[in-house]
């Protein structure tokens, strides 16, 4: 069964420190994509970063990087130099193509950045 697991319901990090949000996935498909989204308290969903299963290098977008370990089926999000505005809910998601695209989301990790 397709599955995304985020084991950290909540995390704290000091401002300017780096933080890693964990995500593991389960799929039997060879071709898939992994995403991270941010949801601030205002409620909107913001796309952060994408990693394709065939991408050889880890994806990076500014202060966000995705630590992709295919053999371990993990796709952790690393946020460097945390800012107060990074406080939000973070969702890991997977897209598979099984005739049509399917999307599955994890339960999310609530990150709080401390001043």
Partner 1 sequence: DSGVTQTPKHLITATGQRVTLRCSPRSGDLSVYWYQQSLDQGLQFLIHYYNGEERAKGNILERFSAQQFPDLHSELNLSSLELGDSALYFCASSPTGRAPEAFFGQGTRLTVV
| Angle of CA points 12, 50, 74, to nearest 5° | 60
CB atoms within 10 A of CB 13: 18
* Nearest Cα residue to 51 out of 26, 81, 74, 18: 74
The only residue of 91, 109, 111, 113 in contact with partner 1, by rule CB under 8 A? 91
Whose Cβ is closer to partner 1: residue 25's or residue 37's?
Answer: 37
Asked if 107 interacts with partner 1 (CB under 8 A), we say yes
CB atoms within 10 A of CB 113: 20
Stretch that binds partner 1, among 19-27, 30-38, 68-76, 77-85 (CB under 8 A): 30-38
Whose Cβ is closer to partner 1: residue 4's or residue 115's?
Answer: 4
Per CB under 8 A, residues contacting partner 1 are: 33, 35, 37, 43-47, 50, 52, 91, 93, 95, 100-108
């Amino acid at each position: 069964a397709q599955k995304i697991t985020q084991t950290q319901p909540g995390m704290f990090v000091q401002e300017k420190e780096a933080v890693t949000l964990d995500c593991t996935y389960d799929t039997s498909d060879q071709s898939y994509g992994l995403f991270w989204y941010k949801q601030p308290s205002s409620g909107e969903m913001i796309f952060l970063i994408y990693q394709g299963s065939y991408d050889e290098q880890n994806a990076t977008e500014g202060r966000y990087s995705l630590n992709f370990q295919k053999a371990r089926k993990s796709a952790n999000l690393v946020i460097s130099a945390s800012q107060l505005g990074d406080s939000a809910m973070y969702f890991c998601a997977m897209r598979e193509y099984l005739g049509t695209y399917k999307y599955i989301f994890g339960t999310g990790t609530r990150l709080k950045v401390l001043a």
